[in-house]
Amino acid sequence: MGRIDEHVGQVLIDEETLRARVVELGEAITRDYAGRAPLLVGVLKGALVFVSDLARVIDLPTEFDFMAVSSYGNATKTSGVVRIVKDLDLDLTNRHVIIVEDIVDSGLTLSYLRRYLQARKPASLEVCALLVRGARDATALDLKYIGFTIADEFVIGYGLDVAERYRNLPFIADYLP
């Protein structure tokens, strides 16, 4: 797939590299959750493509549910205010929950989600993030599974968007405003 328009910049992570890393993450989750059935909580809309691919490579009985949260709106910078747009349908009590995020930036949304979901008494709660942006300390963010660490720039593709566009790109690229 070539450039769709002038806003699609340099490809940072190509389709093949994404696919290989998703398989590695799925294998790690399969090992870590052996004998259990994890519940993948995809954070919409950005994590939709990632959670779909990830679920197919986890070799365990797996369920999914989805939440939609907003801290960006149509902007390329977080507003600093997190709001839940769509809540979960399933009960988390005594479930092994993995939050599946497309990208962790400031950690604000993730911190909010953790507190919100922890109050529902899951047996365990971990995070699988496809991307960590910038020089964030993954240890401080307490991320169990990380796909890639990227520079502090705005990216699109593989579920990540600007004003709902570019989610369909099979790779991750710089966004050129």
**Which residues are the active-site residues?**
105
Instruction: Give the residue carrying structure tokens 């939440």.
Output: 67
Q: Alpha carbon of 149 to those of 105, 129, 130, 174: distances in Å? A: 10, 10, 9, 14
Spatial contact of 65 and 89, defined as CB atoms under 8 Å apart: yes
Please state the three-class secondary structure of 83-115 as a single string.
EEEECCCCCCCCCEEEEEEEEECCCHHHHHHHH
